[in-house]
Chain A
Amino acid sequence: MAVTVDKQELEKTSGNGAHSDVVVAVRGLTKVFKDFWGRSKARAVNDVDFEVYRGEVFGLLGPNGSGKSTTIKMLLGLLYPTKGHIEVFGHSPRHVATKSRIGYLPEESYLYRYLDSRETLDFFGNLFRLSPEDRKERITQLLEMVGLAQTQTRVVGEFSKGMQRRIGLAQALINDPDLVILDEPTAGLDPIGCREIKDLIVSLARRGKTVILSSHLLADVEDVCDRVVVYFGGRIHAMGTLKELLATPDSIRMTMPALPKETLERVLEIIRRDVADDRIHIDTPEQSLESYFLDIVEKARGEALETSGALSGGTVAPYLRGESEQERKQRVLERLTHTGEKTAEEEKAPSEKHEVKEEVLNKLMEQERKAAERPLESGTKDKEKEEKEAQREKVDLSKANEKLSSLTKRERED
């Protein structure tokens, strides 16, 4: 299975040599905003270093004005660093060709107000030199994905902020980018939209895409990021995987069905032998507001209530999910014929040979498709996993908040 994918990836990253896994490298990055006379006005980013690897979801975390957006704009070549060095796919951020591998959702919807959603996507598709057929196919899939298939003829200027975000997201993905940069992706979105974006991010990462997202909403970051940096005042104050950052090794938490009182007493009895009473904490896990809200909407959707706003999209656009139908066929075919490399003749495989295996092929493909789709459909996640997440959210979120506010405090004292 990995044969074709790897080959493609290899081709794309060729020229990076040893750093084929480093997508973004930032060293000593500093940005000083100057006024008209060239006097320093603000040091927005101050001596920042980090690397982002292929396939990871990397979060830039920090309060407003801490330098997240400035960093992102420098990664995209919209701002130029005062000092330091940036490499994106081994090139300068100003390298034009590299940009065909990047998708960017700006923090505000910078869209043409007089275009409708289809025209907007068509315009950006043209900037990627996509063929008319590709554009048409992808636009339809994207509009379906972001839930705007019903509002194709309304101009973007009439859209609500959330709907504009959705179009913004669609334009960021039209080139099937290898690196997706999302600046405050969930700002202005309803909880369903947030959930869908998070699902999308996870599914992109699963396909080996790299995602960089900035946010001050901790829940967003925590749900999807593999690694985060925490910004404050233009500097990085913490960096690492969420596990490293959030683990509190000196305490544990157990979750189980409610116990009879006697049993619980007995358990506590045992625990009290080792731990003082005031350090034990017992409660009933609550459902998070997010999952509660999603439940209600899910029910309403089951009753098919009408809405004039954005519909929930749900499934990720097929082309973003992976290969096209044909590629998938090719891949299965390859596995069946056990050839690592295909020659030109083999590509134009004789039709009889093809037909013989068509049936088997389709069955295999069906299986594969199911396997690929299952984890992506929102709302059909494992109950178990969801519960676990909901709990972790509660505890870890407060920890992270504490951490951040202590940082803020320290900085102020400085």
Chain B
Amino acid sequence: MQQILAIARLTFRAAYRFKLVLILSLVLLGGVVLLPLVLEGDGTAQGFAQIVITYTLSITAALLAISTLWLACGTLAGDVEYGTIQTITVKPVSRWRVWLGKWLGVMILNAVLLGLAGAFTFGAMKWRATKLPPEQRQVLDNEVLVSRASAKPPVPELDKAVDQLTKQRLEESSAADLNEELLRQQIRIQLEAQIQTVPPKYSRRWMIDLGAAADDVRDQPLFLRVKFQTSRSMMETLESIIYDTAWRVGPVDSPSTWRTNRSLTANAFHEIRIPAGMLDNEGKLRVEVGNPNDEALMFPLDNGIEVLYREASFGVNFIRGLLIIYFWIGLLAAVGLAAASFLSFPVAAFCSVTILILGMSTGLMSRVVSEGTVLGVNHETGEAGSSFIDWFAVPFFKAVLEVVGFAKGFSPIDALSTGTSIPWSEVGLAFFRLIMVMSGFAAALGMIIFTRRELATAQLSR
């Protein structure tokens, strides 16, 4: 441990003495404090969240990601290049300890910088919040600067029904060339549409289970977060169309059932505040919506309706969000060091930046994988292009997506800017996946290569 810490300290000291810490701090503070001051919000709580949280945290994360890759590559490859590693590895210190020490040093630096940027972001946010108009401040306090967990209605199990219906349809049908897979898909879509849809003049009911949290939030106001689509809104996406909705919340036979009528735009999230005491004895919330329009309303299965409740203070949530960002940076540090374990500085930096970019362009890759070609599908003819590149690009992208998918899904910045709680379990999962598994893999690879490598160069007279 003494050895690892000595190397970690040395790595940090190098960054400090080369003024990297100072410059990065200044750049971060500039990005976190000064730039948001220049950008005027639109005066709403959402605009505030956009600028102060999404924008500053993204800048912080991006800056730290790049500086980490640069530093991680530089600290190891530089030592090999300048020969200083020769003085270290002739000492009784295992090479994996050298590697780990470097990683730790980079992470100490990141902890300092992220802590600094986080503290300033938090301070700037509190300060700017005082400048908002009072009604927006209330929205901010209720919807943004909170940590709210969400509960959703259970997603109905459709597989069985789909199987049954498909079988039935196949038996009924006489057409021999009926594509079973296609049929199955269509049946699923139909069934889902049935569940999601509230037909005109009808109402629909959800039972949302708050589970273990029910007792804690019984006396608190809850928030219903809803979003719906209609066939018209899906076609005319530019125009916001307003629909009337009637809501009834609370136990069915209770006198305290709460009703409200709202005019809401389609295709957007809306929050409806529900007074306290609406949960039933089992901790379930009964929500009913009536559709007085002439059009069917469709609440998507994944995010059509959810109940939000306060789970922790925003400060705690903020720290949990920063922790997840920190784990991401830890993974990048491991990738950079692994590359520098066998490559020279410029090549290692190039490779790890490429990996970073590749990891961020998952959208493009998943399109390629789903279409099966890099050339894209002509949507008018339905014809897919093909190229010899597909032969290796598609499986390669598939593999990358598998790997990235394992780490993705942790999006703390989105959660923070919408006041969504990041549960400790997610922080733990992020630690396990990003640090233990993925960084661990990169570290094992880097350490093995670094241990087997010859660290002196051939110095031959010519």
List the interface of chain A (C-beta within 8 A of B): 33, 41-42, 44, 64-65, 69-70, 73, 76-80, 96-100, 102, 104, 106, 108, 110-112, 114-115, 119, 123-124, 126-129, 155, 168, 171, 175
Tell me if B458 and A104 are in contact (CB < 8 A).
Answer: no
Is B89 in contact with chain A by the CB < 8 A criterion? yes
Residue of A whose beta carbon sits closest to that of B3: A127
The answer to whether A110 and B17 have CB atoms under 8 Å apart is no
Closest chain A residue, CB of each to CB of B87: A110
User: Are the CB atoms of A129 and B14 closer together than 8 Å?
Assistant: no
A79 touching B92 in the complex, CB below 8 Å, given contacts A65-B461, A106-B83, A126-B2: no
Contacts of A65 in B (CB 8 A): 460-461
Q: Which 5 A-B pairs have the closest CB atoms?
A: A65-B461, A126-B6, A114-B17, A78-B456, A110-B83
The verdict on B169 contacting chain A, using a C-beta distance below 8 Å, is no
Determine which residue in B10, B86, B90, B458 has the highest number of CB atoms from chain A within 10 A of its CB, and name it: B90
- Per-residue A-contact encoding for B65-92, CB less than 8 Å = 1, 0 else: 0000000000000000011111111111
Docked Cα-Cα span, A68 to B18, in Å, equals 35
| A residues less than 8 Å from B10 (CB atoms) | 112, 115, 123
Which residue of B is nearest A108, CB measured?
Answer: B83
Residues of chain A within 8 A (CB-CB) of B87 are 104, 106, 110-111, 124, 168, 171
Give A82 to B460 CA distance when docked, in angstroms: 16
Query: CA–CA, A77 to B9, complex, Å?
Result: 25
Chain B residues bordering chain A, tally (CB within 8 A): 30
Q: Bound state CA distance, A42 and B457, in angstroms?
A: 13
Q: Can you list 30 A-B pairs, Cβ within 8 angstroms, ordered by A? A: A42-B458, A44-B460, A64-B461, A65-B460, A65-B461, A70-B459, A73-B86, A78-B86, A78-B89, A78-B455, A79-B454, A80-B454, A96-B92, A98-B92, A99-B90, A99-B91, A100-B91, A110-B87, A111-B84, A112-B10, A112-B14, A112-B84, A123-B9, A124-B91, A127-B6, A127-B92, A127-B93, A128-B92, A129-B2, A168-B87
Contacts A104-B87, A110-B83; A78 near B92 (Cβ below 8 A)? no
Tally of A-B Cβ pairs under 8 angstroms:
89
Min C-beta distance of B376 to chain A, whole Å: 38
Residues of B with Cβ closer than 8 Å to A?
2-3, 5-6, 9-10, 13-14, 17-18, 82-94, 454-456, 458-461
Distance to closest chain A CB from B2 (angstroms): 5
Please give the distance in Å from A175's CB to the nearest CB on chain B.
Answer: 8
Using Cβ atoms and an 8 Å threshold, which residues of chain A touch B18? Answer: 114
- The one of B6, B85, B89, B458 in contact with A123, judged by C-beta atoms closer than 8 angstroms, is B6
Bound complex: CA of A175 vs CA of B90, how far in Å?
12
How far does the alpha carbon of A44 sit from the alpha carbon of B459 in the complex, in Å?
A: 9
Q: Are B92 and A70 in contact (CB under 8 A)?
A: no
Given known pairs A108-B83, A128-B92, the reply for A42 and B460 (CB within 8 Å) is yes
On chain A, the residues within 8 Å of B17 by CB distance are 114-115, 155
A42-B460, A65-B460 given. 9 additional CB < 8 A pairs?
A: A33-B460, A73-B456, A99-B91, A99-B93, A104-B90, A114-B13, A114-B17, A119-B13, A126-B6
Residues of A within 8 A of B93 (CB): 96, 99, 127
A108 to B457, CA, bound (A): 13
Cα separation A104 to B456 with both chains bound (whole Å): 14
Q: In the bound complex, how far is the Cα of B12 from the Cα of A114, in angstroms?
A: 12
A78 touches B90 (CB 8 A): yes
Contact of A76 among B14, B90, B94, B460 (CB under 8 A): B90
- Give chain B residues whose Cβ lies under 8 Å from the Cβ of A73: 86, 456
Residue of A nearest to B94 (CB): A96
